Structure 1
Amino acid sequence: MINLPKPSIAVHKFTSCDGCQLAFLNMGEAFLQLAEQVNILHFAETGKVDTYAKVDIAFVEGSVSTPSEIERIQKIRKNSEYVITMGACATSGGIQALRNGAENSADWVAAIYASPEHIQSLAASDAIAKHVKVDLELWGCPVSSRQIIQAIRDKLSGVRPAVNADSVCMECKRKGNVCVLVSQGKPCMGPVTRTGCGALCPSFGRDCYACYGPSEQVNAASLSRRFEGLGLLPDQVAHRFQFIHSAADAFKLTEKK
């Protein structure tokens, strides 16, 4: 019997809240099983630190928001066979990308920090794919453990990763949920948001907040007009689209002129 070397992985953090990294730790026993199947060479939250280790799979959480992060992601890409971004920050810039539309982002920094001259930030918060090649994107805020397990399983099995870009509406239909947009007049983002959460909010009678980003087919202009018909003002409509994935191209149609 031939013992092949275990695949190696790394989990990197950029500008983010750490929520997507917790999707690993929240696996519980499944994470212990994963640790037996692969060599985890870098994952600071577990005590493994080797930032530029050469690995088979690199998971990246967070957006590129500082000059040093540009250099770091380029080195990580060079040392990784396969790069997977996970979460809203890594895939579209995240909530911090709200500053991208500011006329002068330096004013924001000055309003928050007592010594803004010590803050080294880029004018924009960008998705990882804006700077290096990304092999697979896992959308969500945060991603789920199920997404990560499936991505690793597909890669180790040598199969093409399954990408589900169906809208939350499709998930609601599969679960038999009553549409909150139609029945309750709530400004639900489900028609333009990809599923992945299992239609969590609509299942409890709440409107979708677009945590999982744009779905495969997005008609943002049409949904914007529907929201206005519900009584939302233009700024309120824009807020619905720009809340989590403000830098996603498919959601930029509602930007205030």
Structure 2
Amino acid sequence: MTTFSVTKTRIAVHKFSSCDGCQLAFLNAGEALLELAELVEIAHFAEAGVIDSEAEVDIAFIEGSVTTPAEERRIDAIRQRSRYLVSIGVCATAGGLQALRNIADAGEWPAAIYASPQFIDSLPTSTPIASHVKVDFELWGCPVNGAQVLQTVRSLLAGVTPRAETETLCGECKRQLKVCVMVAKGEPCMGPVTRAGCGAICPSVGRGCYACYGPAASTNTAALAHQLHAMGLTSKAVADHFLLINSAAPAFKAEGLKWRGEDE
């Protein structure tokens, strides 16, 4: 990976279909964000009040999935104006909650909600950024956290490939000495197949993991699915655990559709 020049590195943060939570990870970084501002020039970040959506930048962070025809055109333009492109959050990396439309009748929902659904200009599917353009690095999470973002920026500035989290959430739980909710409480948990990074937030309060940080590098989704079923979950409930917010992540999508009886 090539290091950046001595001139100040320009970055941009772009929003696509999303809730803005991953952009807030920047703002919630507090003092660390001020330190980052000393290292880079923020050319576009509407959430922070800096607007220049057509700026040419060294690093473009993308939050959200591609859900409309306009977003299809916009992501192509951003890719052309960016040296590196980093997708942040589960919407950008795996479609997010809005990707539930991918396994349903995408035309039925607007018709049930809006009086004039013909004016809703959306695509039949919600897809990750990598389905449309080259992505140089992905940050998983719902939302991502400030430490992830800042570590990625610092790595890129130093010419180092950012370190991707590879272990499962179970390892994170064990280091924090948390009681396994799956073993102790019989609580369905996606921890065995989900990548670490969130700090084991849900298990730490006695709840099963929802897989916010996406599939771990090495996962045995079939074993977990059968265990969930043995715990009393219906086939549909097992499928829902895999398809909730990661329905475009290949490993989860394949397992989820299998338990829905819709093998690809």
What is residue 122 of structure 2 aligned with on the other side? Answer: 121
The size of the alignment, in residue pairs, is 254
CA distance in 2, matches of 1:177, 1:107: 43
Aligned equivalents of 1:149 and 1:254: distance in 2? 33
2:97 to 92, 95, 98: 95
Paired AA for residue 131 in structure 1: H
The corresponding residue for 2:62 is 60
Percent of aligned pairs with the same residue? Answer: 57
Amino acid in structure 2 at the alignment position of 1:66: T
Q: CA separation in 2, counterparts of 1:125 and 1:10? A: 23
Structure 2 gap segments, 5+ residues each: none
Could you tell me which amino acid in structure 1 is paired with residue 85 of structure 2?
A: V
Q: State yes or no: 1:243 paired with 2:244.
A: yes
- Tell me whether 81-90 or 180-189 shows the greater mean CA deviation: 180-189
TM score, norm. by length of structure 1: 0.96
- 88, 110, 127: which is aligned to 1:86? 88
Deviates more, 1:233-242 or 1:72-81: 233-242
Q: TM-score, normalised by structure 2?
A: 0.93
What is residue 28 of structure 1 aligned with on the other side? 30
Q: For 2:114 and 2:222, locate their aligned partners in 1 and report how far apart those are by CA, in whole Å.
A: 37
Q: What is the one-letter code of the residue matched to 1:229?
A: A
Q: How many angstroms does 1:178 deviate by?
A: 2.0
Matched with 2:201 is 200
Shift of 1:94: 0.4
Deviations 1:53-98 (A, max 9, x none): 1100000000000011011000100000000000010000000000
Counterpart for residue 112 of structure 2: 111
Moved beyond 6 Å, runs of 4+: none
* Secondary structure in structure 2 of the residue aligned to 1:207: coil
**Residue of structure 2 equivalent to 1:74:** 76
* 1:165 to 2:196 alignment: no
Matched residues in 1 for 2:119 and 2:78: separation? 26
Query: Unaligned 5+ residue runs, structure 1?
Result: none
Name the CA distance, whole Å, in 2 between partners of 1:28 and 1:77: 28
CA displacement at 1:204 relative to structure 2: 2.1
Query: Cα distance, 1:117 vs. partner?
Result: 1.2
Distance 2:33 2:113 in 1: 38
For residues 94 and 201 of structure 2, the distance between their equivalents in structure 1, rounded to whole angstroms, comes to 21
Q: What RMSD over aligned residues (CA atoms) do the two structures have, in Å?
A: 1.2
1:181: Cα distance to partner? 1.0
The aligned residue for residue 147 of structure 2 is: 146
> Which sits farther off after the overlay, 92-101 or 3-12?
3-12
